[in-house]
Amino acid sequence: MRALILDDSRAMRTILKGILAEVGFEVQEAATVRDALSVLGKDAGFDLALVDWNLPDVEGIEFVRQVRSQRKYDRVKLMMVTTETETAQVASAIRAGANEYIMKPFSKQAVAEKLVLMGFEVGQGEGRA
C-alpha cells in the first residue's frame, strides 16, 4: 500500500508517516499542493492521500478537487487531516470528494479506524498524535 501525506508541518508529516508505516504503508510526503500534484503526476500508483486543509499555497480541499477531477486518480482514497472542525467544512470536504475526515489532535487508533472504514486492512495502533 502506498500513501501520500500532504501537510506543511514537518512534525505532522513525521507523525503521520510513523502511523502509516506501522500499519504497512510506503509513504511519500509533500508540503504544498503543487508538490503533491507533482508527486501524483509522476506516479499515479498511490492508494491513499492524507491532506491537511490549511496549506501555504492553496487550501488542501483544492487538492481534493483537482485529484477528483481526474479519472486516473479514482482509486486514490482521500482523507482530510485537519484542525478545521466546523460541520460545514466537513460537509464541503466530503462533497469535494474526500472519503474521510479526521480532526487534529488524533490518536493512532483513530487513524487506523478511519483507514479500515476506507477499506484498508490495518492493525490498531495506540497513543495520541
- Whether residue 13 is contained in a domain is answered as yes
- Count of domains observed in the chain: 1
- Whether residue 17 is contained in a domain is answered as yes
Q: What residues have CB less than 8 Å from 64, skipping those under 6 apart?
A: 51, 78, 80, 93, 96, 97, 98
- Whether residue 50 is contained in a domain is answered as yes
- Whether residue 127 is contained in a domain is answered as no
The confidence score (pLDDT) of residue 125 equals 46
Query: Rounded to whole angstroms, what are the CA distances from 127 to 18, 19, 66, 105, 106?
Result: 12, 10, 33, 11, 9
The confidence score (pLDDT) of residue 17 equals 97
Q: Computed from CA positions of residues 61, 65, 67, 73, in that sequence, does the dihedral angle turn out positive or negative?
A: positive
pLDDT at 126 over 60: no
pLDDT at 127 over 80: no
- Whether residue 123 is contained in a domain is answered as no
Its pTM surpasses 0.85 = yes
pLDDT tens digits, residue range 27-64? 999 999 999 999 999 987 999 999 999 999 899 999 99
Share of the chain above pLDDT 70, in %: 95
Give the chain's length: 129
Containing structural domain, residue 67: 2-116
Q: What is the CATH number of the domain that holds 111?
A: 3.40.50.2300
- Whether residue 125 is contained in a domain is answered as no
